[in-house]
């Protein structure tokens, strides 16, 4: 009996080891997830008030460039909800970690050697200004964006600076190839920030943009004349993820924070920000189209990651002409 009790105690100790971490001291969070990331950080602060958090906000490209530059002496501890392609392109920046929540995730959204864990599914859609474009003039597909009638009416983020913008380029390339990508580039104005895309369309400065669906619904709720159009030739089934930065200054608090990010509580917060959680026990955000009604395709994120440098080099060459 004593041996049985001891065995149970060992199991319980191992199971609670993920949460029996520092719970005090410092934590540096790299946040490319905008408001959703800030809500997660605020919830963690409320749960662990003795942990002092410094949050660094920026685009995926900017924060991964920073993490790479700091590789010899990392300054950050955790990357929050960044595109999976960025992780695949930088596998040596992140530390393996076995999360207590691992069994709540599909293996497809857990990184090699458990270096990252899925966060949400940022389905990309067209955001259109319904005052500037009548219903019969709306683009319906990626191919439509290449039509001459949309020249000067499209705003896109620079894929060298934005993870979501690179994913958009990769989707176009996988579905339609470089000829379509070049034609869309010729029609578009490029901005440095992903947020500028949906803000410019909402303000009526541009007719069409491409953004994550989670950015469109709040604008509709606030009364802006915008709508979401899911491309009829497919939007990628892709995901973003969170990870511990290898060699970061506060490893115990990094593990504690990642456990929180992987929790059902945190994913419910994500759903409240109109993001589709990768956890199957979290319902889709209210008001978003059911995934079953959206045309999707089997996006090859490994290919997108493997060809990232050459794709961006070609994009830069075309952009500079």
Q: What is the pLDDT of residues 157-176, one digit of tens each?
A: 999 998 889 999 999 999 99
DSSP state of 321: -
Q: Are 232 and 243 in the same domain? A: no
Q: Are 107 and 132 in the same domain? A: no
Q: d(Cα 57, Cα 34) in Å, to the nearest integer?
A: 7
Q: What is the pLDDT of residues 295-321, one digit of tens each?
A: 988 889 889 989 999 999 999 999 887
Range of the domain at 94: 2-121+239-288
Phi-psi region of 122 (alpha: psi -120 to 50; beta: other; left: phi over 0): beta
Helix (H, G, I), strand (E, B) or coil at 226: strand
Higher pLDDT, 94 or 321: 94
Q: What local confidence, expressed as pLDDT, does residue 27 receive?
A: 98
Half-sphere exposure of 305 (CA within 13 A, CB side): 13
Q: Are 184 and 146 in contact (CB under 8 A)?
A: yes
Q: Are 31 and 178 in the same domain? A: no
Give 211's strand partners: 125
Q: Are 84 and 154 in the same domain? A: no
Which is nearest to 259 in space by CA: 21, 90, 6? Answer: 21
Q: What is the pLDDT of residues 33-65, one digit of tens each?
A: 999 999 999 999 999 999 999 999 998 989 999
Q: d(Cα 23, Cα 1) in Å, to the nearest integer?
A: 34
- The mean per-residue pLDDT over the stretch 246-267 comes to 97
Q: What local confidence, expressed as pLDDT, does residue 285 receive?
A: 84
Q: What local confidence, expressed as pLDDT, does residue 23 receive?
A: 83
Task: Spell out the residues 6+ positions from residue 29 whose beta carbon is closer than 8 angstroms to its own.
Answer: 37, 41, 53, 54, 55, 56, 76, 77, 78, 80, 257
The two structure tokens encoding residue 30: 């790299």
Percent of the chain with pLDDT over 70: 93
Task: Spell out the residues 6+ positions from residue 321 whose beta carbon is closer than 8 angstroms to its own.
Answer: none
User: Does residue 202 register a pLDDT over 60?
Assistant: yes
User: Does residue 15 register a pLDDT over 90?
Assistant: no
Q: Are 113 and 128 in the same domain? A: no
Q: Are 170 and 255 in the same domain? A: no
User: Domain containing 76 — which CATH number?
Assistant: 3.40.190.10
Which is nearest to 172 in space by CA: 233, 240, 86, 215? Answer: 233
User: Does residue 19 register a pLDDT over 60?
Assistant: no
Q: What local confidence, expressed as pLDDT, does residue 201 receive?
A: 98
Q: Are 158 and 93 in the same domain? A: no
Helix (H, G, I), strand (E, B) or coil at 60: helix
Q: Are 152 and 301 in the same domain? A: yes
Q: Are 131 and 222 in the same domain? A: yes
Number of domains within the chain: 2
Give 155's strand partners: 189, 209
Q: Are 67 and 34 in the same domain? A: yes
Confidence of residue 267 (pLDDT cuts 50, 70, 90): very high
Q: Are 96 and 221 in the same domain? A: no
Percent of the chain with pLDDT over 90: 73
Q: Are 112 and 162 in the same domain? A: no
Confidence of residue 108 (pLDDT cuts 50, 70, 90): confident
């Amino acid at each position: 009996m004593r041996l049985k009790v001891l065995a149970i105690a060992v199991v319980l100790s191992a199971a609670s080891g993920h949460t029996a971490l520092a719970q005090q001291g410092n934590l540096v969070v790299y946040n490319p997830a905008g408001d959703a990331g800030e809500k997660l950080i605020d919830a963690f602060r409320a749960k662990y008030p003795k942990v002092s958090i410094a949050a660094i906000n920026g685009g995926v490209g900017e924060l991964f460039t920073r993490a790479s530059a700091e590789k010899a002496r990392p300054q950050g501890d955790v990357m929050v909800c960044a595109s999976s392609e960025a992780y695949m392109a930088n596998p040596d920046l992140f530390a393996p970690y076995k999360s207590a929540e691992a069994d709540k995730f599909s293996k497809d959204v857990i990184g090699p050697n458990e270096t990252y864990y899925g966060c949400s599914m940022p389905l990309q859609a067209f955001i259109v200004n319904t005052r500037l474009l009548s219903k019969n003039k709306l683009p319906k597909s990626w191919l439509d964006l290449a039509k001459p009638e949309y020249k000067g009416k499209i705003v896109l983020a620079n894929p060298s600076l934005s993870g979501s913008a690179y994913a958009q380029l990769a989707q176009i390339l996988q579905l339609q190839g470089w000829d379509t990508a070049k034609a869309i580039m010729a029609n578009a104005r490029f901005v440095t920030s992903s947020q500028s895309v949906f803000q410019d369309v909402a303000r009526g400065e541009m007719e069409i943009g491409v953004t994550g669906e989670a950015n469109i619904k709040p604008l509709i709720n606030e009364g802006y004349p915008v709508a979401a159009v899911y491309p009829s030739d497919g939007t990628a089934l892709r995901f973003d993820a969170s990870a511990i930065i290898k060699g970061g200054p506060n490893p115990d608090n990094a593990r504690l924070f990642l456990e929180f990010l992987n929790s059902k509580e945190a994913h419910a917060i994500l759903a409240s920000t109109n993001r589709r959680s990768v956890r199957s026990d979290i319902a889709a955000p209210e008001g978003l189209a059911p995934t079953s009604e959206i045309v999707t395709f089997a996006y090859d994120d490994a290919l997108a990651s493997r060809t990232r440098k050459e794709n961006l080099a070609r994009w830069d060459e075309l952009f500079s002409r």
